[in-house]
């Protein structure tokens, strides 16, 4: 499954990638707003928003693209590694 992770802490960038790859997911992590962010999202299977550590503009762009491309969004207030683990476990249960 491919995931776009929006938000989180810069120092956790590699940890987020490691957690997702451990669960067998490909992930793109965006902790800062890049230029042409809407084009960079692509068409993942899911978008995960860490809402406490992301700008309103990034959330707005991600939600708009998700609606346009019919991509499910998961919002998580906490941006810890354990929160990401629980979100991925939730995905696993949904697929079973």
- The mean per-residue pLDDT over the stretch 73-85 comes to 91
Q: How far apart are CA 24 and CA 2, in angstroms?
A: 9
At residue 78, φ and ψ (nearest 5 deg) are -85, 145
Range of the domain at 33: 2-95
Q: In this predicted model, what pLDDT tens digit does every residue of 18-29 receive, in sequence order? A: 999 999 999 999
Q: In this predicted model, what pLDDT tens digit does every residue of 26-62 receive, in sequence order? A: 999 999 999 999 999 999 999 999 988 889 999 999 9
Into how many domains does the chain fold?
1
User: The tokens of 67 are what?
Assistant: 């609606």
Q: How far apart are CA 84 and CA 71, in angstroms?
A: 18
Q: How far apart are CA 17 and CA 62, in angstroms?
A: 19
At residue 3, φ and ψ (nearest 5 deg) are -130, 140
Predicted pLDDT at 36: 93
Q: How confident is the model at residue 96 (pLDDT cuts 50, 70, 90)?
A: confident
CATH code for the domain in which residue 18 is found: 3.40.50.720
């Amino acid at each position: 499954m491919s995931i776009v992770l929006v938000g989180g802490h810069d120092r956790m960038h590699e940890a987020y990638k490691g957690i997702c790859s451990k669960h067998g997911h490909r992930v793109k992590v965006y902790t800062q707003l890049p230029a042409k962010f809407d084009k960079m999202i692509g068409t993942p299977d899911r978008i995960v928003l860490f809402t406490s550590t992301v700008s309103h503009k990034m959330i707005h762009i991600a939600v708009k693209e998700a609606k346009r491309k019919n991509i499910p969004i998961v919002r998580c207030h906490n941006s810890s590694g354990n929160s990401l683990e629980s979100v991925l476990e939730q995905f696993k249960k949904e697929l079973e």
